[in-house]
Structure 1
Amino acid sequence: MTTLVIVESPGKIKKISSILGSGFKVVASVGHVRDLPGNELGVDPADFSPSYVPTQRGREVLARLRKDVAAADRVLLATDPDREGEAIAWHLADALRIGEPERITFTAITQEKIQEALRQVRGIDQDRVRAQEARRVLDRLVGYKVSPALSQRAGHALSAGRVQSPAVRLVVDREREIQNFKPVQHYGVELLFPVEGQWPDNPKALWRAQWDIRPHLAQGETLLLDRTLAERVATVRQVRVERFETGSAARAPAAPFTTSTLQQEAGKRLKMKPKRVMDLAQKLYEQGAITYHRTDNPNLDPAGVEAIRAYAQSQGLAFSEKLRTWKAKEGAQEGHEAIRPAHVEVLQAGADADQRALYELIWRRAVASQLADARYAVRAVLLVGEVQGTSVRFIGKGRKLTDPGWMRVYGAEVADDDQARDKEAPNPIPALQVGAALTAVDARVQDKVTEPPSRFKQSTLVAELERRGIGRPSTYAAILENITSRSYILEDPKGWLTPSPTGEAIRDALVGTFEFANLDYTRELEDQLDRIAERKLSYEAVIAQAWQRLDQELGGLGASQVAMPAAEHFPCPVCGAALRRRKGSKGFFWGCSAYPECKTTLPDEKGRPGKRRESSSRSPNAGKPAPALSEHACPDCGKPLVRRTGTSKGGKAYDFWACSGFPACKAAFENDNGRPGQAARKGKG
């Protein structure tokens, strides 16, 4: 008896086969095998039912799988344990005509998890399939209805997307916030005191206290703008200890990784982009090294916690007394546990350096999450002085790490706010007595300037997308790849993201007209999809509402809303005709609009024509610099005329004026003392 097990990725076959042994044959669907048709909407307006066709790769896969199914005694659909995997399982069952499909799922490719899955065979969850189907149809409605309308009105190929467009908007809005930011100069004062026993031998042995500006601010103010007052306060040297406190503080570890936090932290620590992180995590999952890497649950399952605690005990690492749990973000499905090593005793895994680095990060984060708190000795002091009859206060805070706890495994710098907080740590405040008089060795005015918000990087944009509920863990990398490859968003060498003129044009066209461009829309939609999966809302109701709304909104899209900036017009360097940005099999490029007469192409560099490649143009003007556009307008179409001079292949000299709109306009004129003269030939082709 042969049992056929169908998984998604071919990379899983070897590992799963070794676990299942004889009697099982493991094959792969290679992801989706069917999708909506590429040349039509593929959704029936009458009942919103989608029509599916095999993908180009899916046709070959389905043909192979039909033979495997026919030869098997039993078929188990073991696609990934999320909605997308549930939908793939349904497509396979439908396309392969499996009458009563059997479904298994596992969150790690280990002996224990797979054997557990075989004991819990179930049918396909049609409600989850319907929720995924609703997401796919909504994406198709936005792309199929809005993108052509944008392109037609702009005269330039543009793309809108249900999740990509809000992501573009975030970057555009952040850039405009930065550009419109007006810095404010404000002030503070810092007193410096010597550390006893080290001063003056070590002039750097100082502790600091900051002026408490709050008593000197008017109601509603948060910044001190009076430099004169700050300069007076900076004359203070004699102060008295009003209050001194000493104690301890604990710092808990961060939660194990979810998909988004893994992308964020790998971006900070390993300088990896989200797509790269997901590709590496997929490989590690297929090797059986980590649990399923598409999850929004920050908590581990009981078996994972038990394994990590047992490992910690064997290594003499103190673990937390209470079981640690973390609250998931709003709207999280929490279908699968957080990402962790499948076998915590395995310290290294991965086929190359990048895989090993990512595995180590996952291992450290998961293990650290169950260890004891880091502990600090903390001190705080309130000092009081006087300047020109006015009482002034200074506050000093310091802390010293006494027990690293989980930091032994993961290190101290977990997040930006924690890094900022750690800057207080070196302040070595000594033990002080209340009422004691102190003398500062120096005081200085602190000139401060408010700073604009930072531009996004890919990792921080992922964090913002998650915070706003835009997209799902499995989609963040694809969103970023989409908007950067289309050059709607540009990335500088340091990783900072800025919008291109095209991205700004799309944002301005959509915002205020289409609801899907609102930043709260996708959060609300995700809630609707969850309700479909829970059988609390119907697929038809969600799609009907979206369909009707899009039709109404398309009527309000005006051409003026999507006019491209003038900077987006680029002349061909060979013939002067306009260049057009096109999508090829290897990405975007720029081609001459006079094709086939002029075959000039240029690479795409961040949404603009790049340096010219060697032209394959057969035009007689190929290789020559572009003729300058003149002030003379073509009488036929109104475009500028250009003067063309040179020698033909037959050796005959020529000198005439032609329309820069060639070949759409073939008007040409004789040269008359440097000006267009009598028409040589004309007419529109």
Structure 2
Amino acid sequence: MDLFVIEAPLKARTLETILKRLGFSAKVQATKGHLFDMPESLDVPAIDSRMREFRRVPKDVEVVKRLRSEALMAENVIIATDADAEGDVIAWDVATLIRDMHPNPLRVRMKGLDDDSVRASIDAATPVRKADAVAGRTRAIVDRLIGASFSRPDVGVGRVQTALLGLVQRDKPSTLRLNLVAPAKDGGRVFMAEAPCVAPFDPEIARRLTGMALPMISAGTTSTVASPAPHMGDIMVRAAEKLDMSPRETDDSMQRLYEQGRLSYPRAGSRGVAPATAAKIEALLRKAGYNVDRNAMAPKTEEDVHDAPFPIGGKVDLTTNPQQLGHDEGVRAQIARDLVKTGLRFTSQPGIGAELVPFLIKSGFSQAVAEKVGSLDWRRENGPRFPGQVTWVNGSSLETRRADAVLLEAAINAKLGRPSTWAKHIERFMERNLVDGDLQLTDRGRAWISKSPAGLLDPRISAAIEYACERPQPSAFGNPDREPWEINAEQIVRSLPEPLRAPLQAMIAKEAPRAKIDPISDFGFDRSVMADMDGLTLTHAPAPIED
């Protein structure tokens, strides 16, 4: 019998049932999240001068013992933890914990929990690679050092949270969105443009603009456009606008749909799909009555690991308003609606917004406001009908958006966080009372800004650290005395501006270098299965699993 290792216990029964249908004799064991963890308190960083986490210990000893016992009896071990950076960390931890019994387990990244997706994922299995765990382990080290070095009892400092605070201070995002409409000189469809209500706009100016009948403008050159598939962040923003759901509510719904085998892997940052996936989406949407073309769908880029999320596990309701379907099915239907447009071909025509400038100045608006309106992306689209399409626009409007959706959109554009952490970061930030419901800084928010390092308030620093975590230099590998994530973290800290670098280096300089920790012998797990191993002959020679 084979052993499949996953993270969430709720997925175990679903996966076991699918594996049985596919002809596998397998047992599924859940890790219940991370197997190892650092102390919750940041009073002691527990990171030595060479970036080694010397207090990283098992979270639940019984889970580890059970995992090793099940691995001992298994013919093969397949590690199917989540297909993201955290799942890669857990996969490597599992591999090191069972290396004396199974030196070469397989890594499977589940594309979805339906029969076809599970089979395709297993067919694409690879060895477990230490290199895949470097991003997650590096990020944990750097983020812990930042929190321990700069946080104080009255101010929490974190790489992403503090950058979000700086983003609000710098960009002053608004929950008001200005939607403008101008008629076309050729008598065709109107041109539309949108903009957040930020300088040079303000609420009063925005209301004046929406109350005006703008003059006709000319059309530019027509081009064919493709609509990208929505990634997880786009889906959370759309669900906020269409279903009035918070990012966390949408994240939870997508995870439930995934575990039920009704949505592909949700935490994807891709706005494209592979050819085989495009064919699946085409078949699904054609059954729903839309003549989509797989060749019109945007392909994944070379850096994309996952396809953009898409419905699996049966038909999808494209006729009922998603608001009437409840959270889970409403999200699934909204994803499908947006994918319909992805599979259709449209022509896009710009409007010559500069023609509005003289009219607006004559109407009493400032030069800055008039030129800003003229420079907006005025555009109209022509093409096939798609579900949820707005076929008639009454005129310009001022729209109030959810604050959490606006902040999420800003975070994505600033490259803060990842698909697996976007919802968590936004929820935590909004709960801290640093901004009000209109994303205006509160007294507490201003106080935190005054006590936070200027470098960490710059979102570009956080984004650069994220980038470096995911792209370690070749020099991070090959040192037998050190782990690649330790070297990568050291290189990242060295590259930071001096006001950030010096406190981090000073903090770890106090800790003498520690020896490498062996997760089997140092925690006594070699003895935990010793009795069971008496009389057994291992078919594999124990060997380290290195790249």
Match of 1:371 in 2: 344
- Give how far 1:546 is off: 5.0
| Preserved CA contact (<8 Å) 1:81 1:105 | yes
Tell me which protein shows more strand as a share of its residues.
Answer: 1
The match for 1:277 among 247, 250, 256 is 250
Superposed counterparts of 1:252-291, under 5 Å: 252=225, 254-291=227-264
Distance 1:424 1:297 in 2: 34
1:90 matches 2:89: no
Give the AA of the match of 2:243.
Answer: L
Match of 2:162 in 1: 165
Alpha carbons 2:476, 2:485 under 8 Å: kept: no
Q: Could you tell me whether the CA contact under 8 Å between 2:270 and 2:304 is conserved in 1?
A: yes
User: CA shift at 1:105, angstroms?
Assistant: 1.5
Secondary structure at the residue paired with 1:6? strand
| CA deviation after TM superposition for structure 1 residue 545, in Å | 4.6
CA shift, 1:335, in A, is 0.9
Moved more, 70-79 or 35-44: 35-44
| Kept in 2: contact 1:462–1:476 (CA 8 A) | yes
CA change 1:536–1:334 in 2 (3 A) is: farther
Q: CA deviation at 1:208?
A: 11
d(CA) in 2 for partners of 1:475, 1:554: 24
Q: 1:483-525 deviations in whole A, cap 9, x for unaligned?
A: 233x243453xxx33333222222222243xx33322112212
Q: Under a length normalisation based on structure 1, what TM-score does the superposition of the two structures give?
A: 0.55
Backbone CA RMSD of aligned residues: 4.6
1:15 maps onto 2:14 in alignment? yes
- Is 2:145 the partner of 1:141? yes
Distance 1:343 1:121 in 2: 22
Aligned to 2:502: 552
1:69 aligns with 2:88: no
Shift in CA distance, 555/314, structure 1 to aligned 2, threshold 3 Å: closer
Q: What SS class does the counterpart of residue 421 from structure 2 fall into?
A: helix
Deviation at 1:547, TM superposition (A): 4.7
Deviation digits for residues 584-628 of structure 1 (CA, Å, limit 9, x no counterpart): xxxxxxxxxxxxxxxxxxxxxxxxxxxxxxxxxxxxxxxxxxxxx
Q: 1:286 to 1:99 in 2, by over 3 A?
A: same
CA distance in 1 between partners of 2:190 and 2:40 (Å): 66
Report deviation, 1:35: 1.3
- 1:475 deviates by 1.2
Question: How does 1:237-636 map onto structure 2 within 5 Å?
Answer: 252=225, 254-313=227-286, 317-320=290-293, 322-325=295-298, 333-343=303-313, 345-347=315-317, 353-373=326-346, 405=384, 407-412=385-390, 457-485=403-431, 487-492=432-437, 496-512=438-454, 515-532=455-472, 539-547=485-493, 549=498, 550=500, 552-553=502-503
Q: Percent identity?
A: 22
Q: Is the 8 A contact 1:290 1:342 kept in 2?
A: yes
Hey, what's the Cα distance between the residues in 2 that align with 1:411 and 1:362? 14
Report the equivalent of 2:35: 33
Superposition deviation, residue 527 in structure 1 = 2.2
Report the CA distance between 1:38 and its aligned residue. Answer: 2.9
The CA distance in 1 between the partners of 2:75 and 2:157, in whole Å, is 46
**Within 5 Å, which residues of 2 pair with 1:98-247?**
98-147=102-151, 150-151=152-153, 156=154, 158-175=155-172
- Contact 1:174–1:455 (CA<8 Å) still a contact in 2? no
TM-score, L = length of structure 2 = 0.68
Across the two proteins, how many residue pairs are aligned to each other?
A: 438
The CA deviation string for residues 125-180 of structure 1, in whole angstroms up to 9 with x for no partner, is 21121121100101110112211xx33xxxx3x211011111122224455x98xx
C-alpha spacing 1:318/1:376, structure 2 compared with 1 (3 Å): farther
Letter in 2 for 1:264: V
Q: Secondary structure at the match of 1:76?
A: strand
Kindly indicate whether the alpha-carbon contact (under 8 Å) linking 1:257 and 1:338 is maintained by their aligned counterparts in 2.
yes
1:325/1:28 Cα in 2 relative to 1: closer, same or farther (>3 Å)? Answer: same
- Higher fraction of helix: 2
Residues 527-577 of structure 1, C-alpha deviation per residue, up to 9 Å, x if partnerless? 212322877786444422555654625799xxxxxxxxxxxxxxxxxxxxx
How far the C-alpha of 1:91 sits from its partner, in A, is 1.6
Name the aligned partner's letter for residue 517 of structure 1. L
Structure 2: distance between partners of 1:9 and 1:320: 36
Tell me the distance in 2 between the aligned counterparts of 1:34 and 1:108. 26
Letter in 1 for 2:462: T
Q: Report how far residue 526 of structure 1 moved.
A: 2.3
How has the CA–CA distance of structure 1 residues 333 and 165 changed in structure 2, closer, same or farther, with 3 Å as cutoff?
A: farther
Gap runs ≥5 in structure 2: 175-181, 192-199, 202-215, 360-377, 478-483, 507-547
Gap change, CA 1:456 and 1:146, over 3 Å in 2: farther
1:48 and 1:543 in contact (8 A); partners too: no
Q: Alpha carbons of 1:401 and 1:468: their partners in 2 closer, same or farther (altered >3 Å)? A: closer
- CA separation of 1:316 and 1:279: change in aligned 2, threshold 3 A: closer
Cα distance in 1, alignment partners of residues 259 and 9 from structure 2: 9
Alignment partner, residue 203 of structure 1: none
1:74 Cα offset (Å): 2.0
Q: Which has the larger radius of gyration?
A: 1
Shift of 1:354: 1.2
Gaps of 5+ in 1: 179-189, 196-206, 210-221, 224-242, 386-398, 414-418, 427-450, 557-685
User: Structure 2: how far apart are the matches of 1:378 and 1:6?
Assistant: 55
1:106 deviates by: 2.1
